[in-house]
Amino acid sequence: MSIKKLDDGRFEVEVRPRGTSGRRIRRKFNRKAEAQAFERYVLTNFHDKEWQDKPADQRLLTDLIALWWSYHGKNHNYGDSYKKRLEKIDRDLGEPRIYMLTRNLLMKYRVNRLQSRVSAGTVNRDFSAMSSMFSLLIDMEEFHHENPFHSVRKLRLENTEMSFLTEDEARDLLNALTDDDRRVVVLSLSTGARWGEG
């Protein structure tokens, strides 16, 4: 496997997806990024026979996060925080290769997170973030297997009991606020609306 720069400025990919005994695939591209994308594509999909199993995806989860970032994350306001979440999950999983993301591994990861007192809601959001990333990469034809995070159901969340401020707590809160913050609290207290709805 190699990508080399040619004298004319183009980049040539040479890859043997089945090893030294398999056939060699060569192709030239004007941009290095195109050459790298083609190399990844060939390594993931070196046959197109639907009746055969696809080869195990040997790429690191880190590589897919980088692909997600280049296609999608960097173009959105929430991209940075989302990327940090994905990278943290990757580290917590032990920076696995894609083929290692089995249902068993994900269930063990989930149990460990819950035992470390992370809430079920946080675990669900983490799995949802990863699942969204895989779905986008499937749509972009950068990932050619089932979404591994679809194999694990979301955790059921217990409804938390709603709490209310006492009259003294409401008075203390109003005395501590000014301007728009105070107006929002007065409106919320008067209508029963929650802070995020104000």
Better-predicted residue by pLDDT, 187 or 110: 110
Measure the CA–CA gap between 42 and 54, rounded to whole angstroms. Answer: 12
In a domain, 160, yes or no: no
Is residue 88 located within the same domain as residue 136? Answer: yes
Shared domain check, 93 and 139: yes
Name the pLDDT band for 93 (thresholds 50, 70, 90): very high
Domain of residue 38 covers: 2-44
Decide if 79 is inside a domain. Answer: yes
Residues 7, 39, single domain; the answer is yes
Dump pLDDT digits (tens) for 15-67.
Answer: 877 666 667 788 899 998 888 888 887 777 665 455 455 678 889 999 999 99
Q: Is residue 143 located within the same domain as residue 176?
A: no
Q: Return the pLDDT at 20.
A: 65
Is residue 125 in some structural domain?
yes
CA-only gyration radius of the chain, Å = 25
Task: Clarify whether residues 81 and 107 are in a common domain.
Answer: yes
How much is the pTM?
A: 0.56
Q: How many domains does the chain have?
A: 3
Can you give the pLDDT at residue 108?
Answer: 93
